[in-house]
Amino acid sequence: MNTKPTKRNKQTKQKAQSQKIYEQIARHIKQKIEEGVLAPGDKLPPMTELAKQFGVSRAAVREAFSSLVGMGLIDLRHGEGTFVQKIDVQTMIIEPMNAALLLGRSNLRELLEMRRLLEISTVRFACERRTEEELAAMREALLRQETALHSSDEWVNYDLQFHIAIAEAAGNNVLRNLMNTLSEALRSILRTSHEEQKNPEVLLLEHCQIIAAIEQRDGETACARMSEHLLNSEQIVLSKKA
């Protein structure tokens, strides 16, 4: 399977110079899927191989993959690889929204408000439906985040993993895909939140409190803790952008 940029892609490269590298990679792979070059079930090359082909870092490919997961276009299967998803009703709902977010058609405050609305809903469902395995996934993400206090990129990755694990536990695929979409649109914002937070341990404590409420299946407390956590993060980000 050839995933190297074609002459047609090079013609649009100048228009995309202001885009982040990972967005360019995501758009290239997305175009291949739309054109049928990559079909449902096709396995993508490993991240390291794509990084060499595009001449970028592995981290850039990882972010591109995360963005495509958020669109519902690919599926990352641990131990197996990355595969093109079958386009279904969920993809048709999520994709236009994701495109709008990545292209900046919503302002920051609106995105943060949408995230708060979505995450409070997912944490309530997670309290009702979570399994022990899903609870363990939240704890694992939190543990990894704790070891990444001094690395913004790693911190953000594990922060996203934590919140997406909650969305997974909600047992609703549309909510999960929406969560992926918003998370990728807000990735740089989450990085700002970490870099401007003088005491990142506070965020870890808030995550611990959310997990404790989910473990007890206490929906009211979980929603309150999530709301407080997101509002605290929003204040940091909005004050920085002011």
8 A C-beta contact, residue 190 and residue 112: no
Phi-psi map region of 7: left, alpha, beta (phi>0 left; psi -120 to 50 alpha): alpha
Rounded to 5°, the CA angle 63-69-227 comes to 85
The label of the residue with tokens 């407390």 reads 221
Q: Are 215 and 118 in the same domain?
A: yes
Asked if residue 231 and residue 121 are part of one domain, the reply reads: yes
Residues 112 and 222 in one domain: yes
Residue 111 and residue 201 in one domain: yes
Question: Does the pLDDT at position 97 exceed 60?
Answer: no
Structure tokens at 99: 């495109």
113 and 57 belong to one structural domain: no
| Domain shared by 79 and 37, yes or no | yes
Q: Are residues 78 and 151 both part of a single domain?
A: no
> Quick one: pLDDT at residue 36?
84
**Statement to judge: residues 226 and 157 lie in one domain:** yes
Domain identity same for 129 and 22 = no
Q: Is residue 9 part of a domain?
A: no
- Inside any domain, residue 230: yes
**Domain final residue pick, 52, 84, 116:** 84
**78 lies in the same domain as 112:** no
DSSP string, the chain: ---S--HHHHHTTGGGTTS-HHHHHHHHHHHHHHTTSS-TTPBPPPHHHHHHHHTS-HHHHHHHHHHHHHHTSEEEETTTEEEEPPP-HHHHHHHHHHHHHHTT-S-HHHHHHHHHHHHHHHHHHHHHH--HHHHHHHHHHHHHHHTTTT-HHHHHHHHHHHHHHHHHHTT-HHHHHHHHHHHHHTHHHHHHHHHH-S-THHHHHHHHHHHHHHHTT-HHHHHHHHHHHHHHHHHHHHHHH-
**Rounded Cα distance, 77 and 150, in Å:** 28
CATH code, domain carrying 225? 1.20.120.530
Please give the Cα distance from 101 to 191 (Å, whole number): 17
Q: Is the pLDDT of residue 223 over 90?
A: yes
Mean predicted confidence (pLDDT) in 194-217: 88
Q: How many domains does the chain have?
A: 2
Looking at the structure, tell me whether residues 31 and 76 fall in a common domain.
Answer: yes
The answer as to whether 129 is a domain residue is yes
Last residue of one domain, picked from the residues 27, 53, 84:
84
Q: Enter the pTM of the model.
A: 0.61
Summarised one tens digit per residue, pLDDT across range 147-201 is 887 777 788 888 888 999 999 999 998 888 888 777 767 776 777 777 777 777 8
Question: Is 181 within a domain?
Answer: yes
- What range does the domain containing 166 cover? 106-241
- Checking if the pLDDT of 95 tops 60, the result is no
- Is 4 within a domain? no
